[in-house]
């Protein structure tokens, strides 16, 4: 089975207009979308099909109307990049816990049938409280070489943080998941980093013990993510950083 649990740290370092940093532990599910019928088989508290304490639902991703998420991602990649992929699609994401979900970022690793490494990455970014979502399609063939993995530069397309304006760009380092998984994203203004974020995770098997420990250690994972976002926004405001209005308001 390719599906797994990844556990580790998320880190944020903001350089301007005020210095601010935080980190916390988390876990994320790594789901092979062709294994949905078996990944949580026999796990009463976990499900991909029925109501459960921890649940994966395809409608929590893309446009919310995709029953076959793997095909939806392949279609998106084909539309945006021209790549026609026929291999697995594996998704790093948070599940829905106690009925609540919020994913600041989910990552689709898209393979060809005979390729051991991803041919394309899709970053699915969501914001709060507006609940908007945007996907960045990053073909591996367009990556630059970087010390932390494959390097991608692309423009910001959606209002995410009220403390970061829209006229920014992203720089992302990504690589194939293995025993370790890392993802780094910088928010840039004229090649100068305003914010650096990173995931540093370690692979765990989808076993009864790992799943039970994950729920016990992080019982409200997605609620905690949202709480961290809002509490750190308050800390930035107390440091004198003025929030920006949503461009659509």
Domains of the chain, residue spans = 4-232
Mean pLDDT in residue range 56-72: 94
Task: Please give the pLDDT value at position 13.
Answer: 98
Q: What angle (nearest 5°) sits at the alpha carbon of residue 219, between those of residues 235 and 94?
A: 75
Q: Are 138 and 97 in contact (CB under 8 A)?
A: no
Q: pLDDT tens, 66-96?
A: 889 999 999 999 999 999 999 999 999 999 9
SS3 224: helix
Please give the residue that has the higher pLDDT: either 146 or 119: 119
Query: Residue 35 — pLDDT band, cuts 50, 70, 90?
Result: very high
Strand order in the sheet with 20-32: 133-139, 120-126, 105-110, 89-93, 20-32, 4-14, 192-204, 180-189, 169-174, 149-155, 144-146
Region 146-156 average pLDDT? 88
Mean pLDDT of the chain: 95
Sign of CA dihedral 209, 211, 215, 217: positive
Q: What is the pTM of this model?
A: 0.96
State the Cα–Cα distance between residues 30 and 10, nearest whole angstrom.
16
- Select the more confidently predicted residue: 223 or 147: 223
Whether residue 148 is predicted with pLDDT greater than 80 in this model: the reply is no
Phi, psi of 63 (to 5 degrees): -90, 5
């Amino acid at each position: 089975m390719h599906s797994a649990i990844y556990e580790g740290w998320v880190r944020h370092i903001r350089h301007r207009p005020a210095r601010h940093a935080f980190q916390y532990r988390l876990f994320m599910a790594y789901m092979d979308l062709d294994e949905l019928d078996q990944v949580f088989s026999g796990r009463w508290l976990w499900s991909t099909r029925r109501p459960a304490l921890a649940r994966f639902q395809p409608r929590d991703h893309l446009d919310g109307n995709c029953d076959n998420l793997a095909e939806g991602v392949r279609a998106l990649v084909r539309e945006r990049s021209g790549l026609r992929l026929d291999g697995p699609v594996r998704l790093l994401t948070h599940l829905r816990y106690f009925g609540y979900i919020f994913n600041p970022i989910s990552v689709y690793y898209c393979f060809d049938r005979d390729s051991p490494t991803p041919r394309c990455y899709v970053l699915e970014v969501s914001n709060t409280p507006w609940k908007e979502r945007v996907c960045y399609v990053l073909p591996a063939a367009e990556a630059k070489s970087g010390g932390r993995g494959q390097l991608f530069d692309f423009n910001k397309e959606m209002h995410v943080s009220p403390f970061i304006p829209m006229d920014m760009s992203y720089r992302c380092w990504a690589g194939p998941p293995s025993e370790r998984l890392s993802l780094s994203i910088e928010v840039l203004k004229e090649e100068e980093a305003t914010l650096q974020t990173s995931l540093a995770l370690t692979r765990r098997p989808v076993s009864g013990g790992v799943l039970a420990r994950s729920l016990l250690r992080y019982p409200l994972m997605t609620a905690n993510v949202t709480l961290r976002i809002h509490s750190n926004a308050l800390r930035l405001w107390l440091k004198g950083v003025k929030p920006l209005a949503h461009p659509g308001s």
